[in-house]
Structure 1
Amino acid sequence: MPPKKSFPLRIDPKLYGQLEKWAADEFRSVNAHIEFLLREAVRRAGRLPKEEPQQKEQDS
Protein backbone atom coordinates (compact mmCIF):
# COMPACT_ATOMS: atom_id res chain seq x y z
CA MET A 1 0.00 0.00 0.00
CA PRO A 2 1.41 3.43 -0.86
CA PRO A 3 2.14 5.79 2.04
CA LYS A 4 -0.67 8.11 3.05
CA LYS A 5 -0.53 11.85 2.42
CA SER A 6 -0.38 14.00 5.55
CA PHE A 7 -1.75 17.54 5.65
CA PRO A 8 -3.09 19.93 8.30
CA LEU A 9 -6.86 20.21 8.55
CA ARG A 10 -8.55 23.18 10.16
CA ILE A 11 -12.01 22.25 11.36
CA ASP A 12 -14.66 23.80 13.58
CA PRO A 13 -14.32 22.38 17.11
CA LYS A 14 -18.05 21.60 17.31
CA LEU A 15 -17.92 19.67 14.04
CA TYR A 16 -14.82 17.83 15.26
CA GLY A 17 -16.69 16.87 18.43
CA GLN A 18 -19.54 15.40 16.39
CA LEU A 19 -17.08 13.51 14.17
CA GLU A 20 -15.30 12.22 17.27
CA LYS A 21 -18.56 10.82 18.70
CA TRP A 22 -19.57 9.34 15.34
CA ALA A 23 -16.15 7.73 14.88
CA ALA A 24 -16.37 6.19 18.36
CA ASP A 25 -19.79 4.75 17.49
CA GLU A 26 -18.22 3.11 14.42
CA PHE A 27 -15.11 1.92 16.34
CA ARG A 28 -12.82 4.09 14.19
CA SER A 29 -10.33 6.84 14.89
CA VAL A 30 -11.43 10.32 13.85
CA ASN A 31 -8.81 10.27 11.09
CA ALA A 32 -10.02 6.91 9.75
CA HIS A 33 -13.63 8.07 9.92
CA ILE A 34 -12.93 11.29 8.02
CA GLU A 35 -11.12 9.26 5.36
CA PHE A 36 -14.07 6.84 5.20
CA LEU A 37 -16.57 9.70 4.80
CA LEU A 38 -14.49 11.36 2.09
CA ARG A 39 -14.04 8.07 0.21
CA GLU A 40 -17.82 7.45 0.35
CA ALA A 41 -18.53 10.96 -0.95
CA VAL A 42 -16.07 10.50 -3.82
CA ARG A 43 -17.53 7.07 -4.63
CA ARG A 44 -21.11 8.40 -4.64
CA ALA A 45 -20.04 11.24 -6.92
CA GLY A 46 -18.65 8.67 -9.36
CA ARG A 47 -15.14 10.05 -9.07
CA LEU A 48 -13.24 7.00 -7.82
CA PRO A 49 -11.10 5.43 -10.54
CA LYS A 50 -12.08 1.90 -11.45
CA GLU A 51 -9.91 -0.58 -9.62
CA GLU A 52 -7.56 -2.65 -11.71
CA PRO A 53 -8.24 -6.39 -11.56
CA GLN A 54 -5.93 -8.11 -9.13
CA GLN A 55 -3.26 -10.28 -10.66
CA LYS A 56 -3.60 -13.98 -10.05
CA GLU A 57 -1.04 -15.33 -7.64
CA GLN A 58 1.58 -17.38 -9.38
CA ASP A 59 2.30 -20.89 -8.15
CA SER A 60 5.53 -21.13 -6.18
Structure 2
Amino acid sequence: MSKNQAANEVKYKVALKLLDIMLRNGLISPAEYKKIDELNRQTFTPELSKVYA
Protein backbone atom coordinates (compact mmCIF):
# COMPACT_ATOMS: atom_id res chain seq x y z
CA MET A 1 0.00 0.00 0.00
CA SER A 2 1.40 3.38 -1.01
CA LYS A 3 1.54 6.39 1.28
CA ASN A 4 -1.29 8.00 -0.68
CA GLN A 5 -3.47 4.91 -0.33
CA ALA A 6 -2.70 4.72 3.38
CA ALA A 7 -3.58 8.41 3.78
CA ASN A 8 -6.90 7.81 2.00
CA GLU A 9 -7.66 4.93 4.36
CA VAL A 10 -7.05 7.18 7.37
CA LYS A 11 -9.13 10.01 5.92
CA TYR A 12 -11.98 7.62 5.21
CA LYS A 13 -11.87 6.16 8.74
CA VAL A 14 -11.92 9.67 10.26
CA ALA A 15 -14.90 10.62 8.08
CA LEU A 16 -16.66 7.40 9.07
CA LYS A 17 -16.07 8.09 12.77
CA LEU A 18 -17.54 11.58 12.39
CA LEU A 19 -20.55 10.13 10.58
CA ASP A 20 -21.06 7.66 13.43
CA ILE A 21 -21.02 10.51 15.95
CA MET A 22 -23.46 12.55 13.88
CA LEU A 23 -25.82 9.58 13.57
CA ARG A 24 -25.69 8.81 17.31
CA ASN A 25 -26.45 12.44 18.15
CA GLY A 26 -29.41 12.54 15.78
CA LEU A 27 -27.86 15.08 13.43
CA ILE A 28 -28.34 12.82 10.40
CA SER A 29 -30.71 9.99 9.56
CA PRO A 30 -29.63 6.43 8.70
CA ALA A 31 -30.49 7.15 5.04
CA GLU A 32 -28.28 10.25 5.08
CA TYR A 33 -25.52 8.25 6.75
CA LYS A 34 -25.62 5.68 3.95
CA LYS A 35 -25.61 8.32 1.21
CA ILE A 36 -22.71 10.27 2.75
CA ASP A 37 -20.74 7.06 3.31
CA GLU A 38 -21.16 6.16 -0.37
CA LEU A 39 -19.88 9.61 -1.35
CA ASN A 40 -16.93 9.25 1.02
CA ARG A 41 -16.04 5.89 -0.55
CA GLN A 42 -15.99 7.56 -3.96
CA THR A 43 -13.94 10.49 -2.68
CA PHE A 44 -11.34 8.60 -0.65
CA THR A 45 -11.46 5.29 -2.58
CA PRO A 46 -10.29 3.25 0.40
CA GLU A 47 -8.74 -0.03 -0.64
CA LEU A 48 -10.32 -1.80 2.32
CA SER A 49 -13.83 -0.43 1.74
CA LYS A 50 -15.27 -3.94 1.35
CA VAL A 51 -14.05 -4.73 4.86
CA TYR A 52 -15.74 -1.62 6.27
CA ALA A 53 -19.15 -2.43 4.75
TM-score range, shorter chain: 0.3 to 0.5
TM-score of the superposition, structure 2-length normalised?
0.37
Structure with bigger helix share is: 2
Computing the radius of gyration from Cα coordinates, the structure with the larger value is 1
Query: Higher relative CO (CA 8 A, sep ≥ 6), structure 1 or 2?
Result: 2
